[in-house]
Structure 1
Amino acid sequence: MNPFVEKAAKALWEAELNRQPIEPLTQTYESITVEDSYAIQQQVKAWKLDSGRRIIGRKIGLTSQAMQNALGVHEPDFGSLFDDMLLPEGSLVPYERFLQPKVEAELAFIMKHDLQGPAVHFQDVIQATAYVVPAFEIIDSRVRDWKIKIQDTVADNASSGALILGSRGVSVHDVNLRLIGLVLERNGEVIDTAAGAAVLGHPATAVAWLCNKLATFGEGMKAGDIVLSGSFTRAYEVKPGDVYSAHFAGVGTVQVGFGSK
């Protein structure tokens, strides 16, 4: 482990606690690697668990080819979801809870069985999933002005912030996840449309990738875990007072509103 890992982890942890962004780790530690960044993420995760927080699932980021190209990578990244990140649908989210929030519309997989890599395939994910549900991920960055490279976002728990789940779950056997259509609205106006194929060709493919990646850390997914499989569209910046709605054909709708500053 590089000697700066704990120092960088402490800086991110304090940035979250104090709601004060820091300069990019890639600027402060020019030699930082993606492996270093995952070590930083693991250290912050350990501190959060020691503080009493509980992991309820995982999130997958960078699932679109465009985002991977933008950051110069060839695979997604991941982070952990903690119990205090799950917010009730229909509630007004305090804007000041976050530093610089954006929203992403995703499908959340709710796991029926444990799933452990390596060699997990698409069909293994389908068989291990209880149902899918519409979700919003509120992404946030502890790095000032979102000036991130892949090392920055990985270290920062894949830029996770919070999640909101819709109230309706649908069996993965009742819908074609690749062809599911999304209509995304902001304040009643349609701002984007997409399909499940935007997520690595199929959202279950992203979840299979996650299982196999977790195995390299000696970890796996547990029954009951929530897995945010990746955004159907680009992330959209949030302003105080915004209300976002995501309508997934055949699955349902999820909505999130943000309070004024």
Structure 2
Amino acid sequence: MDLEDAYAIQLAQIARMLSEGRTIKGHKVGLTSAAMQKLLGVNEPDYGHLLDDFFYLEHMPIPADRFLQARVEPEMAFVLKKTLSGPGATVHEAVAAVDFVLPALEIVDSRIRDWKIGLFDTIADNASSGAVVLGSTPTPLREVDLRLTGGVMHKNAEVVGTGAGGAVLGSPINALVWLANTLGARGIALEAGQVVLPGAICAMVPVAAGDSVTATFAGLGSVTARFV
């Protein structure tokens, strides 16, 4: 299997989901940290699709048995106000396309036993997508410097991760540009109203029923996921 095979498998899965009446609400970018790229021996990210039934409102109970081996990571989510398409999309165009930023928790999941994944595995598996919890405090992009925005993740009141936006390809906006250009090469545009998860600021942590995870970002607010 090569890169194109892996994305073909992912797209076949998405086509099946769409045939069931589900809709695409956004995309995610994965493998945005230098550590993860080194671990998998790659030099660029990957992407996956976010379906409408992936999304939970903050504080809604999340059934842990929906997932096989769930893990959680904190992100700064973009919500778009206009179409962004590549190839050739620029940082300036990406910034102009963003309506606001939200604190978010991505619940990643893997259909590969024990998370023993390679690049092609995770791509075929829709970039290990599971679910998304969005916060309720929208912040205009002009009010924050995402490169310097720090965050902390608590699990059951214990600090389990810290980081900043600079860990995401130097800035989360760079991940948005990469996504627009990569999708554009496949004839796909990012549309107004869609959500983009640009990548995590720190390592993911496993979760199970009874766990509560909160991500707090300087200047962006916080978001909590509770598993039952």
- Normalising by structure 1, we get a TM-score of 0.86
Structure number with bigger Rg: 1
The alignment partner of 2:53 has SS state of helix
Partner of 1:63: 32
* 1:76 lines up with 2:53 in the alignment: no
Q: Which moved more, 1:203-212 or 1:122-131?
A: 122-131
Per-residue CA distance 1:89-132 (angstroms, 9 max, x = gap): 10121110100000010011000110110111222111110000
Aligned pairs (5 A) from 1:1-261: 32-259=1-228
Contact kept, 8 Å, 2:160 with 2:205, in 1: the verdict is no
Partner Cα distance (1:34, 1:71) in 2: 13
Partner of 1:27: none
Partner Cα distance (2:115, 2:188) in 1: 29
Partner Cα distance (2:208, 2:192) in 1: 36
Per-residue CA distance 1:66-104 (angstroms, 9 max, x = gap): 000000111000000000000111012111010000001
Higher relative contact order (Cα pairs below 8 Å, separated by 6+ residues):
2
Q: Can you give the 5+ residue segments of structure 2 that lack an aligned partner in the other structure? A: none
- The runs of 4+ residues in structure 1 deviating greater than 6 Å are none
Contact kept, 8 Å, 2:103 with 2:135, in 1: the verdict is yes
Alignment RMSD: 0.7
Q: Can you give the 5+ residue segments of structure 1 that lack an aligned partner in the other structure? A: 1-31
Partner Cα distance (1:192, 1:47) in 2: 36
Per-residue CA distance 1:26-50 (angstroms, 9 max, x = gap): xxxxxx1111000101111111111
The alignment partner of 2:106 has SS state of strand
- Normalising by structure 2, we get a TM-score of 0.99
Partner Cα distance (2:64, 2:197) in 1: 22
Percent identity (aligned): 48
Partner Cα distance (1:106, 1:177) in 2: 11
Query: What is the number of equivalent residue pairs in this alignment?
Result: 228
